[in-house]
Amino acid sequence: MEFFALLDCIISPACLISQTAGGLKIAMLLFLVASGLTLVFGVLGVINFAHGALYMLGAYFSWQVMSITGHFGLSVILGALGVGLFGLLFERILISRIYNSDLLVQILLCYSVVLILDDLVMIIWGDEFLSSLGLPEIFQVPPLFIFDAIIPPFHIAIITISFIVATFLWFIMAKTKFGRLVRAAAINPKMLEALGVNTNIIKAAVFMLGSFLAGLGGALAASLGSVVSGMGNSILIESFIVTVIGGMGSISGAFLASLIIGMARSFGAIAMPLFTDGLMFLIMVLVLVLRPQGLMGNKK
């Protein structure tokens, strides 16, 4: 454990700012993916173990669009939309059969889909790492220097995109009719049905939105690093951590928890390089023991 290294970093503005920016980038990318997971759990009551596989699909889809068109914005949007459509089919064909099944059945069904998708992308795109097709030209500029801290413009772009999505998500959930219906479906779906609302459509739409968010995270990640089968596994576990810490089903909780995990990863990498992952799980254990409903969850 190198706590002095951490101390050195905190008192130096350059290190502090670059680590904070790095943590923010991790946090916002994580929030995109985790918000989809927590939304699906909150409304559908399903733990979507295949969420990481959807993230991976987003990366592959956007890589494919990028290699055909070479347009960054198009590849991200089409990649995410493609995963949204895939999610809709997935929900209609498989997930809708297990709404009332127990947890074990849900885990096994989703995990079998993970196994299938991991191999399918290998069959379609090969099992080599697909390297990122590079950043779009507007981001190929010298990095920003703030107090000697180096911040790549693309990280700022990712933080901004995620922030816009977060605001948009909040707006949909809090201010629109659809958002009110979704919240009502989460609390009392039977009552909503009695009032003449088709909750199946709402469930399908929420799952589609959740898949879209996972796909968007994957599409952005594809431009940062390489694309490979099984790349969704680690983000799946991190999304679980965020969901649990924030409170299952709470989007604002997921936002707070993403920030905590992002900073823990960024600064933990300096203090305990070998135990960065362990730190996240330690936080998860502490939250579950001290406040099982999560930081911003409601006690049932």
- CB atoms closer than 10 angstroms to residue 217: 33
**Is residue 116 within the footprint of other proteins (CB under 8 A)?**
yes
Is 17 near other proteins (CB under 8 A)?
Answer: no
Q: Write the DSSP assignment of 7-59 as a string of letters.
A: HHHHHSHHHHHHHHHHHHHHHHHHHHHHHHHHHHHHHH----TTHHHHHHHHH
Is 242 within 8 Å of 258 (Cβ atoms)?
yes
Task: State the Cα–Cα distance between residues 61 and 238, nearest whole angstrom.
Answer: 22
Q: Segment contacting other proteins (CB under 8 A): 57-65, 95-103, 155-163, 174-182?
A: 95-103
d(CA 131, CA 191): 50
Among 7, 10, 89, 105, binds other proteins (CB under 8 A): 105
- How many residues lie near other proteins (CB under 8 A)? 40
Question: Which residue among 71, 97, 180, 183 contacts other proteins (CB under 8 A)?
Answer: 97
Instruction: Compute the CA torsion angle 120, 124, 130, 135 (nearest 10 deg).
Output: -100
Residue 284 binds to other proteins (criterion: CB under 8 A) = yes
Binding other proteins (rule: CB under 8 A), the pick from 77, 107, 172, 295 is 107
Structure tokens at 220: 């952005």
Rounded Cα distance, 38 and 294, in Å: 12
Nearer to other proteins, 24 or 53 (CB): 53
The window from 67-75, 100-108, 159-167, 249-257 that contacts other proteins (CB under 8 A) reads 100-108
Contact stretch for other proteins (CB under 8 A) within 17-25, 32-40, 108-116, 159-167: 108-116
5 binds other proteins (CB under 8 A): no
* Pick from 75, 116, 108, 100: nearest CA to 227: 75
Provide the minimum distance between the beta carbon of 119 and other proteins in the complex, in angstroms, as a whole number: 4
Locate 16 and state its tokens. Answer: 């502090």
Check the CA dihedral 173-239-33-100 and report its sign.
Answer: negative
For the window 19-58, what string marks contact with other proteins as x by the rule CB under 8 A?
----------------------------x-----------
Interface positions with other proteins (CB under 8 A):
47, 94, 97-98, 102-105, 107-109, 111-116, 118-120, 122-123, 233, 237, 240-241, 244, 248, 272, 274-275, 277-278, 281-282, 284-285, 288-289, 292
